[in-house]
Chain A
């Protein structure tokens, strides 16, 4: 009963923006959208989260559609070190359910 749908993989060019889509059409009003990433053989790293407004931090921007049924994570200038599995998670409590995520490969 996955709450989010992400493409299994995507490539992007180093130095370009990477736009990672996520569908969460069954999101409820009190659920937040979280993004984490996992570099091979490491623990996940928190990226960003939001409820309904767009958010930006030093790592990325999160764009949430007005109906909240989808969102996009934007890495403004991808580097080779951004190669990882990116997880989009919706949750309204402290339990995070990780799906398969999107494997992002940044190519030189």
Chain B
């Protein structure tokens, strides 16, 4: 149980285009989903927290107009990287939690490798 999927697993796009990444909780309802970014040989950095039906909360330094997050249902959240540039190339990972308990675990997706040319 507790499976989270991401689509696509890899994407290559041209500079200036927008890319949408989907995160789905397959066998549970996720009240909260998180989006992380990981640069090569670095640790995960939390970008934003999204709750179903409400606006996402962004971490300091993350541009909310550039990284659009939508959490339209209890099983789906999307991250759209708008007007992508080469410096946005990274490994994007989502996680999902039911938030039923204070120590509820986060279950992570397999990640999406974004390369902006």
Partner of B110, one of A42, A95, A96, A98: A42
B105 near A49 (CB under 8 angstroms)? yes
Known contacts A94-B32, A98-B44; is A43 also within 8 Å of B105 by CB?
no
A49 near B103 (CB under 8 angstroms)? yes
Known contacts A94-B32, A94-B99; is A46 also within 8 Å of B43 by CB?
no
Contacts of B81 in A (CB 8 A): none
Please, how many residues of chain B have a CB less than 8 angstroms from a CB on the other chain? 27
Q: Bound complex: CA of A99 vs CA of B106, how far in Å?
A: 16
| Min C-beta distance of B49 to chain A, whole Å | 7
Contacts of B99 in A (CB 8 A): 94
B109 near A98 (CB under 8 angstroms)? no
B58 within 8 A of A: no
| Min C-beta distance of A44 to chain B, whole Å | 5
Contacts of B45 in A (CB 8 A): 98
A67 within 8 A of B: no
Interface string of A82-108 (1 = CB under 8 A from B): 000001000011111111110000000
Chain A residue nearest in CB terms to B112: A43
Contacts of B102 in A (CB 8 A): 30, 32, 92-93
Known contacts A94-B32, A94-B97; is A46 also within 8 Å of B46 by CB?
no
B65 within 8 A of A: no
Interface string of B92-117 (1 = CB under 8 A from A): 01010101001111111111010000
B108 near A43 (CB under 8 angstroms)? yes
A51 within 8 A of B: yes
A46 near B105 (CB under 8 angstroms)? yes
Chain A residue nearest in CB terms to B91: A41
Chain A residue nearest in CB terms to B108: A43
Q: Bound complex: CA of A62 vs CA of B68, how far in Å?
A: 38
10 other contacts beyond A49-B105, A95-B34, A95-B46, with CB at 8 A cut-off? Answer: A38-B44, A41-B111, A42-B110, A43-B95, A44-B93, A44-B95, A94-B34, A94-B99, A98-B44, A100-B43
Q: Give the B-binding residues of A (Cβ under 8 A).
A: 30, 32, 34, 36, 38, 41-46, 49, 51, 87, 92-101
